[in-house]
Amino acid sequence: MRVYLDNCCFNRPFDDQSLLSIRLETEAKLGIQEKIKSGHLSLGWSYILDFENNANPFLEKRVEIQRWKEVADLFVDETAEILLKMNELTAIGLKPLDALHIACAVSLKCQYFLTVDKGVLKKAREFEEIEITNPVNFIIKWEAEQ
């Protein structure tokens, strides 16, 4: 099973952990990364992850997130198909960068798109090609199926 984590998800451990919901999302995200490292999950990576991560002003965060590109089993560059899918997704109200991430995940044939972005999660029911969820719900579902 291949998953795609958006930039918000990769950055969650660097956020202020004083809220329980953020700590839970962080722990779930770290658990997902362990499943990727152990080979239970595979990771998709895209040019838009590189683009957003390279814009991160914090070197430590940027370097740590970039290491995950080496762990990914598939990478996708921009294609006409991805841009077409992005346009479809922006037409239903997603921001262009969020739409690009989802379009890349679909192109990579990921089964899950993981995010902590509330705006994206509100639109999650509108997609047929990929399941969009947050890391906590993904872990709950994963553990129930094991």
Residue with tokens 């990769």: 10
Q: Which residues pair with 112 in a beta bridge?
A: 3, 131
Closest by CA position to 99, among listed 73, 137, 72, 126: 126
The CATH code that applies to domain 2-145 is: 3.40.50.1010
pLDDT of res. 104: 98
- pLDDT tens string, the chain, 146 residues long: the values are 999 999 999 999 999 999 999 999 999 999 999 999 999 999 999 999 999 999 999 999 999 999 999 999 999 999 999 999 999 999 989 999 999 999 999 999 999 999 999 999 988 777 888 999 999 999 999 999 88
- The whole-angstrom separation of Cα 70 and Cα 68 is 5
Max alpha carbon distance in the chain (Å)?
42
pLDDT of res. 94: 92
Helix (H) or strand (E) holding 43: strand 42-46
Question: How do the domains of the chain map onto residue ranges?
Answer: 2-145
90: exposed, middle or buried (Cβ count in 10 Å: 0-12, 13-18, 19+): middle
